[in-house]
Each structure stands twice: as C-alpha cells, then as structure tokens.
Amino acid sequence: MLEANRINAFYGSSHILHGVDLDVPVLGRVAVIGRNGAGKSTLLKSIMNAGPTVDGEVRWEGRSLKGLPAFMRARLGLQLVPEDRRIYQHLTVRENIRMAAYATAPGRTPIPAQEIVDRFPMLQPISERGGGQISGGQQQMVAIARAIACRPRLLLLDEPTEGLAPAIVEQLAISVHELCEAEQAALLLCEQNIWFARQTTDTVLVMDTGRIAFRGSWQEFDADPDIKQRHLAV
C-alpha cells in the first residue's frame, strides 16, 4: 500500500535519512525502532511531506505522491499522530476530534465526534474540556482518537508512549490494536518502547543513524541479540 524507495531527507544542510526503503502492505503492522535521533520521526514526516526536504520516491497504492502537500496526503488516508500530540488548546476535546473531518478521503464519511467519544471510555468525562486542561495520557488518547475520526487507511504513530505511565502504556497498546482492527487500518509505528511495539506490530525495522539496519519479524529480531546490542543499546 505504501512504498518508499531510497528516501533521502534533509533539514537544511544536515542529511538525516540515507536511502531508506520501506514497504507497508495493506493492513500491515510495521514498527520502526531505534535510538533517539536515529531519524524515525523524520521518516514519518518525509512520508507526509511535512517538514524535511525529501529526495526519493513515496508511492501510495501504486501512485507517486511527488509534490503533493501534506493536507492532500492526509486526504488520501494517511494520518500522522506527532510525538508532541499537538492538541489544540483553544478547542475542546470534541472540537479537536471534529477538526480532523477534513482529512476524510473522498467517498468515505468521517466518524461523528460523538461516536468517537463513545468508543473511548477515557474521553467521555473530558469531551467538553479544553485541549489544554487534560493530562499527557489523555492528550495522547485524544490525538489518536482525532486521527481515527477521519477513517485513515494508514495510521502513522510517532512515539505514542513517550512520557506515559506504564499502566497507561498497557491500555494504549490494547486500544491501538483494537482500533486498527476495527477500522481496517494499516499501522506504521515509531517507538523506543520495544514492549509496546511488539504488542501492536508484526514486522520490525531497526533504524540507526538514518539507515535501516535490520528488517524482519519479531522472531527474527529475537533470534539475533546482536542487533539489540549494536543498534539499540544506549
């Protein structure tokens, strides 16, 4: 469904990604893990054309996305949840969710904000609260709920567990898994939390200094302890 061929990404003169190849099949669940600064976020932003200067080809359902601005990519069904969540503080939780309706692909209808709130038990008590008056864990749930509201085909999650308490991380893993199943959405996840990545995906890519150092199933990942040692140990 999503293919990226030899992606090179730059911020100004710094070269962040070096010839990255990536493939997310229909309903695929792919994790990209790696240390801080390995280029995981840049990869997601490159796919969305939201920030870095990108050289290389990104294809969506066989069609090149070259030159397409981020909002057009969002309307094709790609939804990125950024690691800093970016909940609008001047809007209530419900309004934040409603704001995503513009990203609904042609021929699909967005999920009404009320239905989303009903589906996330955590959001019910806070749906009328301002975006600045909720906790970090709640913000992450709102960010994911907002992304789901436009019925994306591919969900790109950037470090969803960052800064969350372990109990919340467990809850989040269940929610993300269920949502992707219910909405028939593929998942491309960037994480440092290997436990969370393992719960939610079946394929894993290890990224180190802007290059893909390993790709395979979680079994293959476990079979080679050297990978962890070389590319993930701090």
Residues 200/187, Cβ–Cβ less than 8 Å = yes
**Smallest distance from the beta carbon of 169 to other proteins, in angstroms?**
23
**Edge-to-edge strand ranges of the sheet holding 203-208:** 78-81, 154-158, 186-191, 29-34, 203-208, 211-217
Residues 11/181, Cβ–Cβ less than 8 Å = no
* 90: contact with other proteins by CB under 8 A: yes
* 104: contact with other proteins by CB under 8 A: yes
Residues 138-197 that bind other proteins (CB under 8 A): 146, 150
Q: Which residue has the tokens 């997310």?
A: 24
> Within 13 Å, how many C-alpha atoms sit on residue 145's CB side?
28
Residues 55/214, Cβ–Cβ less than 8 Å = no
Q: Which member of 2, 33, 74, 169 binds other proteins (CB under 8 A)?
A: 74
**Smallest distance from the beta carbon of 150 to other proteins, in angstroms?**
7
* 103: contact with other proteins by CB under 8 A: yes
The DSSP secondary-structure symbol of 192 reads S
Q: Which member of 1, 27, 68, 70 binds other proteins (CB under 8 A)?
A: 70
Q: Is 44 left (phi over 0), alpha (psi -120 to 50) or beta?
A: alpha
Nearest residue (CB) to other proteins, 11 versus 102: 102
- Return the range that interacts with other proteins (CB under 8 A); candidates 76-84, 134-142, 213-221, 223-231: 76-84
- Return the range that interacts with other proteins (CB under 8 A); candidates 4-12, 53-61, 69-77, 205-213: 69-77
Pairing mode, strands 186-191 and 29-34: parallel
* 51: contact with other proteins by CB under 8 A: yes
Q: Which member of 3, 23, 95, 183 binds other proteins (CB under 8 A)?
A: 95
Single out the residue of 21, 97, 102 nearest to residue 57, CA to CA.
21
**Smallest distance from the beta carbon of 99 to other proteins, in angstroms?**
6
The DSSP secondary-structure symbol of 112 reads P
CA gap 223, 234 in Å, rounded: 20
Q: Which member of 39, 52, 82, 160 binds other proteins (CB under 8 A)?
A: 82
* 201: contact with other proteins by CB under 8 A: no
Tokens of 201: 């995906």
* 31: contact with other proteins by CB under 8 A: no
Task: Identify the three-state secondary structure at position 190.
Answer: strand
Query: Which residues of the shown chain bind other proteins in the complex (CB under 8 A)?
Result: 48, 50-51, 69-71, 74-75, 79-80, 82, 86, 88-91, 95, 99-104, 146, 150
